[in-house]
Amino acid sequence: MTQRHDILLVCKREFGPALCDFIAQLHPKARANFASSRAAVETALDEAGGAPVRLITFLTDIIIPEALLIRAGLTGYNIHPGPPTYPGVAPTTFAIWDEATTFGVTAHELAPRVDEGAIVAVNTFPMPLGVSEYDLGDHAFAAALTLFRDIARHCASSASPLPRSGERWSGIKRTYRDLDRLKARFSSLSAGDRARLLRACADVVPTVTSRNRAA
């Protein structure tokens, strides 16, 4: 028997209506809404009045704290750019810089710490030759929509967790500090490496001042 529950998408405002409409078409009892800020997530959970809510975060930097994950009551999922080998910030940048041969998108259970939840699905594709950060982002967006379609089909009709894939996180979890350090290397690089860094990170400039962001 299907347990009635709401689905709350956490995503950019421009994505919300179309994603909600897609879920509504999957199951006659599916109810979906979206939130584009952490405050809006809290408000939606308040309005649910303790009823179970499935959180699905889609291509967003919004971090859902543990207290809200507990309040939701159901296993939530995050869909974001980067395969399990590139956890952390700026996976497109570091994959291009590393000259990776494949890239992809990961779907995993929401957890209190970023990119540590159990992985439920990965959609990988060959890294296009000479690709830029923006173009790789477009490829990742298409792959993310495919994962969303599959995950939404399950979540629209079932309150049960998705089966875990068995894949594991690996590689270095990059931080904003790591990104700043990479940008700061620009002036000392060879011409070829400068060109590669410009493809990997379009906003790099010859002199980069650290933003002193928390890692």
Whether residue 210 has pLDDT greater than 50: no
Shared domain for 29 and 114, answered yes or no, is yes
Shared domain for 160 and 184, answered yes or no, is no
Specify whether the CB–CB gap between 107 and 155 falls below 8 A. Answer: no
Shared domain for 151 and 179, answered yes or no, is no
Q: Is residue 22 part of a domain?
A: yes
Whether residue 18 has pLDDT greater than 90: yes
In this predicted model, which residue has the larger pLDDT, 1 or 161?
A: 161
Region of 166 (left: φ > 0; alpha: ψ -120 to 50; beta: rest) is left
Q: Is residue 201 part of a domain?
A: yes
pLDDT in tens, 21-80: 999 998 877 889 999 999 999 999 999 998 999 999 999 999 999 999 999 999 999 999
Shared domain for 179 and 196, answered yes or no, is yes
CATH number at residue 138: 3.40.50.170
Tell me the CB-side half-sphere exposure of residue 118, using CA atoms within 13 A: 9
Q: Is residue 204 part of a domain?
A: yes
Q: According to the model, what pLDDT value does residue 4 have?
A: 62
State the Cα–Cα distance between residues 84 and 164, nearest whole angstrom.
14
Q: According to the model, what pLDDT value does residue 189 have?
A: 94
How many Cβ atoms sit within 10 Å of the Cβ of residue 184? Answer: 14
Shared domain for 158 and 182, answered yes or no, is no
Shared domain for 188 and 92, answered yes or no, is no
pLDDT in tens, 90-134: 999 999 999 999 999 999 999 988 899 999 999 999 999 999 999
Q: What single-letter amino acid sits at 38?
A: R
Q: According to the model, what pLDDT value does residue 206 have?
A: 54
pLDDT in tens, 168-182: 999 899 999 999 999
Shared domain for 38 and 141, answered yes or no, is yes
Q: According to the model, what pLDDT value does residue 205 have?
A: 65
State the Cα–Cα distance between residues 127 and 122, nearest whole angstrom.
15
Whether residue 11 has pLDDT greater than 90: yes
Q: According to the model, what pLDDT value does residue 211 have?
A: 44
- State the helix-helix crossing angle for 133-157 and 16-26, rounded to 10 degrees: 30
Shared domain for 120 and 164, answered yes or no, is yes
Region of 19 (left: φ > 0; alpha: ψ -120 to 50; beta: rest) is alpha
Kindly give the pairing relationship between strand 77-81 and strand 102-109. Answer: antiparallel
Nearest alpha carbon to residue 179 among 103, 105, 93, 63: 93
pLDDT in tens, 148-160: 999 999 999 899 9
What is the tally of structural domains in the chain?
A: 2
Range of the domain at 27: 6-172
